[in-house]
Amino acid sequence: MAREPVSMPSRGMIAHPLSFDLLRAVLVMIVFVFLAVLPARAAPRAVDDIVLPEQSEYIVLFAEHSEFLVTATPDMSLTEAQAANDWVVSQADSFDMRDGDKTYWIRFGVTNPKTETEHLVLDMRAAAHDQFRAFAISEDGAVSELLATDSESVFGDRSIAATRLNAQFSLSPGETKEIYVQVDPYFATYYHFVLASQLTFEIFDQVNEDWSLFWYGGMITVFVLAILALPLIGWRVTAAFLGMIGCAVITTMASEGVLAQYMFPDQPVRIGWNITDFFYYHTMTSLLAVGIFLFDLHKDRPRYAIWVLAVTGYITCLSVFSFWLNVYQSDALLTAYRAVLPLAFLTHFTTGVLSIRKKKSGATAFLLASVIPLVFAMNALLFGFSFEIPSPPIFELSEFRNLILLQLVVIAFAIVQRYARIRTERDRALRTELEITQEKLLLSEELRESRENYDRVKRQSDRQKEQLSAVSHDILQPLQSLRSGLKSLNLKDEAAIQNMHDAFDYLESLARTSLTQPVPMQESSPSASEEFALKTVTDVAYAMFKDDAAALGVRLEYEPEDVLVKSEPVSLMRILNNALANALKHSGAGLIQMQTHPTDGAVELVVSDDGHGMSEEDINRVRQRHQKGDTSEGNGLGLTLMAEECDRLGVSLQIDSEPGRGTRIVIGLPEA
């Protein structure tokens, strides 16, 4: 049986539709697989690359040439970051990382136009972060990880043994690389990341190390000086000041990574952060203690001292919490932490104000030291809690170091000023005590000499008193005989007889007074004064001297006043008799006047003559015992006795005289 022929498709005929769909599906799948294995294409950068300068030393703040990405996804991959569309151009020389809940990405390009390979260092200007990664992407898309670290990393794993985080990479001649940096900051603040040549980094790192050695050496020097000053400033102030220095040094070493580098290189770097917070708090409490003990407020203001103790306890509790916890991970702890600086500042400021009100030396300097943390606090509030202030191309200075150094200098000045004042007052007191002791010794010597002189004068006085008593006794007998003989005489002149009786009465009164009464002191005895008519004394004196004056050819004029005075009549008679006797015997006068002039509340008894007078030198000389004028023939006792008696009675004695113009003696008596 013949078979029917089978028809075959011609060469140009289309295949079955099912075969075509299958082929298309395979091709689409191949394309998707190819696209999937290709890396995501990065969004184009909006800033130019950093072109390295020709010189070998340079440093660049790459924030000025970078883009910035802020994300809430901490585990964002490099590929996702490359593909993101919300990159923004950095508008400053630093990166604002004050939002501690965010993750920050940075990217920039760098080109090497030189003919030799360039070795570069990324300096992150921080000791550590919660997380930090850096990547370099070559022109062919190859990715290399420059650095990957977090809070649990150890210092010993770092490729560069520097206290700050650093990443190192190289650029071949004409090569361009794109750098990506991921940062999860521990401190919420501004950061200044830099790109430097290897040579520049080494130079600046050495300079920073030298500066650190200088600073730490200075702190040690201050520490030793404070210990040496212990006997002067006391153990309380010394302990508080040493505590402040020690806490400040440890805080600085921990925050800058020195402790991690040298003391625990195999421990997580977060330990340094806890140490930083702990000792930074106690830097404040130490300053509080310095103020309390330096100005003795624990004695003068006990209630305020209790308040300071409460603030110290509050800060101490926070420091204990911060030693095991990250305060930035708890809103409550962070709020309490941020209250520390204002609270400490207000307490320091109050201490300074109270000390100024008490007029304590050094209080103004301490008040200035309390303002310094306020500036630091304002910087923290406005610009974040920043430890580093860059100053390229000069090496950076630690802001915390500057704060502590300035505070220590000002507080040291306050302590020196305070205790210099105390030392001055102590020296003044010692000098005063020494002067008093010297005066006591001098007074003791003078007292001894005075005692010896007193004993000598007393012996002389006793001898003179004995002689005077003997003389007085001897005088009384002739006086009584003369009085008896006068009575037996048959004289006709009654006035002359009365004058002689008055003279005998006066002489007998003087003799009996010298015989029975002790030698009077210079001060007048109020009990011996009495009120009497001055005329009774002047009448007797006139009667006693008028005949002698007439016999010598001297005119004696008498102008009495009937006034009452209060004094001692016998002593006044003695003074008046000496005045008249001197005028009559030694002045060479032709006229002697005795007058009484009542004045306001007093009476002046005046004896004047027109004799040859005396000079000022003669007056001063005759006031001394046994001294007399050039023309006098007496024994030099008259005017001296008058002056002594007037001083004893408390009456005034004025002697006015000039050579050739006579003498005028004025005795001022109190009116009764």
Separation of alpha carbons 68 and 451, rounded Å: 101
Per-residue pLDDT at 588: 86
| 201 vs 164: CA distance, rounded Å | 12
Report long-range pairs for 77-81 (Cβ below 8 Å, ≥24 apart). Answer: 78/135, 78/143, 78/180, 78/182, 79/39, 79/40, 81/105, 81/107, 81/180, 81/182
3-class DSSP state of 86:
coil
Count of CB atoms within 10 A of residue 543's CB? 18
Could you give the C-alpha distances from 323 to 177, 250, 309, 327, 430, in angstroms and in order? Answer: 41, 14, 21, 9, 50
- Residue 231: asked if its preceding bond is cis (omega within 30°), the reply is no
In this prediction, residue 624 carries a pLDDT of 63
DSSP class per residue in 258-316: HHHHHT-TTSBTHHHHHHHHHHHHHHHHHHHHHHHHHTTHHHH-HHHHHHHHHHHHHHH
* CA 178/CA 451 separation, integer angstroms: 107
* pLDDT tens for each residue of 156-211: 887 777 777 888 999 999 999 999 999 988 777 788 888 999 898 888 888 888 88
pLDDT at 7: 33
Q: Could you give the CA distance from residue 220 to residue 233 in angstroms, rounded to a whole number?
A: 18
| Higher pLDDT pick, 642 / 34 | 642
Residue type, 324: W
SS3 assignment, position 608? strand
Strands 143-150 vs 388-391: parallel, antiparallel or unpaired? unpaired
CA distances from 442 to 435, 450, 459, 635 (A): 10, 12, 25, 38
Give the position of tokens 């100005």: 295
The predicted pLDDT at position 378 comes to: 60
Helix (H) or strand (E) holding 118: strand 118-123
CA-wise closest residue to 90 among 72, 102, 104, 76? 104
Closest CA to 62 of 241, 181, 194: 194
> b or e along 142-158 (b: 16 or more beta carbons within 10 Å of the residue's beta carbon)?
eeeebbebbbebebeeb
Secondary structure percentages of the chain, helix, strand, coil, to 5: 55, 20, 25
The DSSP letter of residue 395 is E
Residue 18 has pLDDT above 50, yes or no: no
Percent of the chain with pLDDT over 90: 15
Longest dimension (CA), the chain: 235
d(CA 142, CA 169): 14
pLDDT at 342: 80
- Closest to 150 measured CA to CA, from 69, 268, 258: 268
- Token pair for residue 521? 């002191």
Judge whether residue 23 has pLDDT over 90. Answer: no
Q: Is pLDDT above 70 for 631?
A: no
Task: Give kind and range of the element (H or E) at residue 602.
Answer: strand 602-609
pLDDT for the residue 324: 72
Indicate the pLDDT class of residue 71, thresholds 50, 70 and 90.
Answer: very high
Q: pLDDT at position 473, please?
A: 55
Half-sphere exposure of 20 (CA within 13 A, CB side): 4
pLDDT digit string (tens) for 78-88? 999 999 989 99
- Examine the pLDDT at 392 and tell me if it is beyond 70: no
Does the global pTM surpass 0.95? no
Give the containing element (helix H, strand E) for 667: strand 663-670
Amino acid (one-letter) located at 464? Q
Cα 12 off chain centre by: 111
Looking at the structure, give the CATH architecture of the domain made up of residues 50-203: Sandwich (2.60)
Choice between 489 and 608, residue whose per-residue pLDDT is larger: 608
Average pLDDT for the chain: 78
Structure tokens at 434: 């020494």
Token pair belonging to 298: 């624990």
Q: How far apart are CA 607 and CA 595, in angstroms?
A: 7
CA distance 268 to 281: 22
Half-sphere exposure of 434 (CA within 13 A, CB side): 6
Is 137 strand, coil or helix? strand
- Provide the 3-class DSSP secondary structure of residue 104: strand
- pLDDT over 50 (residue 634): no
The average pLDDT across 111-124 equals 92
Q: What is the CA radius of gyration of the chain?
A: 57
The amino acid present at 353, given as its one-letter code, is V
pLDDT tens digits for 348-371? Answer: 888 888 888 888 888 888 888 777
> Around 130, how many Cα atoms within 13 Å sit in the side-chain half-sphere?
17
Q: What is the CATH number of domain 521-670?
A: 3.30.565.10
Among 85-94, 182-191, 285-294, 446-455, which stretch is predicted with the lowest mean pLDDT? 446-455
Identify the pLDDT of residue 143. 93
Nearest residue to 131 via CA among 100, 93, 108:
100
Helix (H) or strand (E) holding 198: helix 198-228
> CA-CA-CA-CA torsion for 254, 260, 264, 270, nearest 10 degrees?
70
**234-238 long-range contacts, CB within 8 A, separation 24+:** 234/293, 236/289, 236/293, 237/290, 237/293, 237/294, 237/415
Most confident of 43-57, 184-198, 582-596: 582-596
Residue identified by tokens 């300096």 is 123
Q: Which residues neighbour 181 within 8 Å (Cβ) at sequence distance 6 or greater?
A: 105, 106, 107, 122, 132, 133, 134, 135, 193
